[in-house]
Structure 1
Amino acid sequence: MHPRNIYNKRLNFNALASEFPEFKKHTTLDLKGQVIMDFKNIEALRILSKILLKKDFNLDVHFPPNGLVPTIPLRLNYILFIEDLLKLTNHNKCVKGLDIGVGASCVYPLIAAKKNGWQMVGTDINAESLNCAQNNIKNNNLAHLIEVVKVKEETILEEVLKQNSVRYDFCMCNPPFFGNPNELCSQLKRKSNRSPPKNAFSAEMHEVITIGGEFTFVSKIIDESSEFQDRIRIYTSMLGIKRNVKLLLQKLHKIPAIKSAISTEFHQGNTTRFGIAWTFDDCIQLEQLPINSDKKEKCGKPYVYNIKPFVGNTEEVGKQFTNIFNDLQLKHTPVKTDNENVVVYDIIAHGDTWSHSRRKRRELAHSSKCQSKTFIKDAINNNKDSSRVNGEKSAKRKCDYVMETVKRVKTEENIFLACTLIIHISSELHIELVYVNGSGGKNACHQILQYFKNHLKF
């Protein structure tokens, strides 16, 4: 959870039940006399969100009976993320934001306006949702800061941005996550390696399902942002499915006009959501935002390898690892330590240069051999050998392509793997490789450690 989130500590249900009778009737006492609530009870969730908005933001918000019940800690996490992004813009004037898919509760604009005094425009395709949102704005006397606009389903940004020449500081979006009811049902089912959903599900279908799911929806925002560019200084969106983060970042990195793009995570209880942000403004360096600074501590156990007995010194160890780093074209930065028997490197890989390395060397050797006229002449007289020649030429082209790809990827911002190598030198050599991040995932970290095992000569 964001460090400034007021819900960082567990909610005091005892105090809430004492202050709000409407909440108390949805609670019970456990064996220790503590007040607990049933998160599977939709009405209890609805009341909890209502009283948190009232208690912490002085907002009176109505949620439609069958509509989406917003979890307030998550919504506040997203608002705080945008606050951090705006600090990078050096913009001290009135902030103007655009909420794509404002929904019936209008919760993001209400919190943003009440907490920060931001001017907000919310868009939606559903007339009933907009009517409810308008009533929530009116009931909280925030019409001077919040406007809601009905837009067509065919476009997302175009309709509202072409109405006037207003320049927005940011846009935000909590898109429908799923592409069809089957996807929704599969996500709601318990998976063997995960805890079951803690909260009851409550939402209208149009609030959680859209054609193509969140990937298609956010891809459309990206495409339209390329047309309007600096009309919005920072574009953002929330995501509910982790795999889409990588796919959408890849799409963003392919657009030359985009100056920077980042992702983050929103943690609240057992729920994790994801966020992405991008900008066309070269004065805004989104990478400077210190997000997920505790990522290393959350990476789990390191990959470990021991060589014993070990006879050697720090210089020999450093030389062998440096040679491997150079062979694999890994960016490696030594990290100072207080212990002379501990060597630490921060490692960044921009592509997979270690997989099947022995096979690649063999293919290159064979392809060189194919250049021999005698070899080619003998191969022509034998269909089987002829096929091998063609295969080796193809292999050479493949290897050349791999090497060119590695060179190209090194100039890009995409990180395939970032990890930390920790080497303890004593009577044995203890190697730890800690995964940090990167599109290659933890499997890439494991593969590099296996490469070390095969190539270290102690």
Structure 2
Amino acid sequence: MSSPRYKSQKTPKQTRFHPRNRHQGQYDFAALIDADRNAGNVALGHFVSANPYGDLSIDFADAKAVKALNRALLKHHYGISAWDIPDDYLCPPVPGRADYIHGLADLLIAANRGKPPKKNSVHVLDIGTGANGIYPLIGSHEYAWNFVAADINPDALANLQNILQANPQLDKKIELRLQKNRNHIFHNILQQDEWFDLTMCNPPFHTSATEAQSGTDRKWQNLGKPALSVDAKLNFGGQAAELWCDGGELAFIQKMIQESQTFSTRCFWFTTLVSKAANLPAINAALKQAQVLQSKTIYMQHGQKQSRFIAWTFLNPVQQTAWAKMRW
């Protein structure tokens, strides 16, 4: 059996998280272990050891270790208790997900004459929140935003409800909504006489289950370990709706842009992550066809990996100014 493949505790020099991101530098494993000390035999401390370079770390090919690290990060940095997800659901990287939140905050600050909106004044719609609810959990803590967390999977929302019940401070900050029609994104979720300052989404990016499994296999190979079983493959798998849809990421985002036209005056900034840079030209073409008045591509750099999200609005400058004055 090959030895575990570890990642160093130290953040690579080329990592450039957002300046307000709490996850700068290296993991403080002593503090994280202390934050997760009451998690029994799955506590983070059980998975931490010295890597070949002498630094404390975990085996990032071990799904239980990664989940424990996420739980400790959310507890230590954001005050979230009892975070958990079922074994077959997507386990998000907390530091990178936080960057999306901070990038969205920058959009609001720029639209509000360089000042953050007042606390509790911002309303955000998270499309496809998943069982982990990572964006509402971080955004409500960092900026006191209010969230509607939407998903097509009732089991995912039930798990997120369990997390919210363990964190009563979030009871009035995060509302859960089930999308009953998988052919819709905003329809059935946005209610009458309801306005959002932001929408956000981490869309499914594969076109099929086979393509999603190939991506999972590549992740295992990059960690130096074969996918030994179906259960092992699912460590990086996630539910079908989290990973793939007909047409993949591009079709999903094109649908999102098309539907956003119906709610053009009900949201300031529509946004979504874009995993594949090759999809940007087609996405920009869809934005042009939808006659959006302004769009932006915001880049995020995490080590050697570059990610991005796009943002678009149908509001003209006068409407944008009026929106900020009325709401923030």
SS in 2 for 1:201: coil
Paired residue for 2:78, among 57, 60, 85? 57
Match of 1:244 in 2: 279
Does the 8 Å contact 2:197/2:268 carry over to 1? yes
Q: CA deviation at 1:284?
A: 8.1
CA–CA distance in structure 2, aligned partners of residues 230 and 125 of structure 1: 25
Match of 1:129 in 2: 156
Q: In angstroms, what is the RMSD of aligned CA positions?
A: 2.5
Match of 2:67 in 1: 46
SS in 2 for 1:223: helix
Paired residue for 1:78, among 82, 91, 100? 100
Does the 8 Å contact 1:69/1:202 carry over to 2? no
Instruction: List per-residue Cα deviations over 1:229-261 (Å, max 9, x = no partner).
Output: 0201100001211211232022212333x1111
Does the 8 Å contact 2:205/2:244 carry over to 1? yes
Q: CA deviation at 1:14?
A: 4.9
SS in 1 for 2:281: helix
Name the TM-score, length of structure 2 as normaliser. Answer: 0.79
Match of 1:261 in 2: 295
Structure 1, unaligned runs of 5 or more: 287-458
Is 1:36 aligned to residue 62 of structure 2? no
Task: Please identify the structure whose Cα radius of gyration is greater.
Answer: 1
SS in 1 for 2:238: coil
User: Which range moves more in the overlay, 48-57 or 236-245?
Assistant: 236-245
- CA 198–205 in structure 1, closer or farther in 2 if over 3 Å, else same: farther
- CA 18–131 in structure 1, closer or farther in 2 if over 3 Å, else same: closer
User: Which range moves more in the overlay, 276-285 or 169-178?
Assistant: 276-285
Q: CA deviation at 1:196?
A: 2.9
CA–CA distance in structure 2, aligned partners of residues 50 and 244 of structure 1: 33
Does the 8 Å contact 2:32/2:76 carry over to 1? no
- CA 198–213 in structure 1, closer or farther in 2 if over 3 Å, else same: farther
- CA 75–30 in structure 1, closer or farther in 2 if over 3 Å, else same: closer
Does the 8 Å contact 2:32/2:44 carry over to 1? yes
- CA 196–284 in structure 1, closer or farther in 2 if over 3 Å, else same: farther
Match of 2:91 in 1: 69
Paired residue for 1:154, among 161, 183, 196? 183
Does the 8 Å contact 1:259/1:279 carry over to 2? yes
Does the 8 Å contact 1:89/1:284 carry over to 2? no
Does the 8 Å contact 2:35/2:75 carry over to 1? no
Match of 1:281 in 2: 315
Name the TM-score, length of structure 1 as normaliser. Answer: 0.57
Instruction: List per-residue Cα deviations over 1:290-319 (Å, max 9, x = no partner).
Output: xxxxxxxxxxxxxxxxxxxxxxxxxxxxxx
SS in 2 for 1:103: coil
Structure 2, unaligned runs of 5 or more: 1-16, 38-42, 226-234, 321-328
Paired residue for 1:196, among 210, 222, 225? 222
CA–CA distance in structure 2, aligned partners of residues 271 and 38 of structure 1: 20
Match of 2:208 in 1: 180
Instruction: List per-residue Cα deviations over 1:3-29 (Å, max 9, x = no partner).
Output: 221212122335534654521211222
Aligned AA for 1:196? N
Aligned length: 281
Higher RCO (C-alpha under 8 Å, 6+ residues apart): 2
Does the 8 Å contact 1:63/1:104 carry over to 2? yes
The structure in which a higher percent of residues are strand is 1
SS in 1 for 2:315: coil
- CA 42–149 in structure 1, closer or farther in 2 if over 3 Å, else same: same
Does the 8 Å contact 2:257/2:290 carry over to 1? no
Aligned AA for 1:28? S
1:368-379 residue pairs with structure 2 within 5 A? none
Q: CA deviation at 1:31?
A: 4.9
- Aligned-residue sequence identity (percent) comes to 31
1:3-402 residue pairs with structure 2 within 5 A? 3-17=19-33, 20-21=36-37, 22-31=43-52, 33-60=54-81, 61-90=83-112, 92-93=117-118, 94-141=121-168, 142-151=170-179, 152-161=181-190, 163-188=191-216, 190=218, 196=222, 201-256=236-291, 258-283=292-317
Instruction: List per-residue Cα deviations over 1:153-181 (Å, max 9, x = no partner).
Output: 121101122x3211110100011111102
CA–CA distance in structure 2, aligned partners of residues 84 and 48 of structure 1: 28
Aligned AA for 2:18? H
Match of 1:297 in 2: none
Does the 8 Å contact 1:239/1:274 carry over to 2? yes
Aligned AA for 2:185? I
Instruction: List per-residue Cα deviations over 1:15-69 (Å, max 9, x = no partner).
Output: 5346545212112223554212111111111000000000000002221121111
SS in 2 for 1:160: coil
CA–CA distance in structure 2, aligned partners of residues 234 and 178 of structure 1: 25
Q: CA deviation at 1:285?
A: 11
Aligned AA for 1:5? N
CA–CA distance in structure 1, aligned partners of residues 195 and 267 of structure 2: 6
Match of 1:349 in 2: none
Instruction: List per-residue Cα deviations over 1:428-456 (Å, max 9, x = no partner).
Output: xxxxxxxxxxxxxxxxxxxxxxxxxxxxx
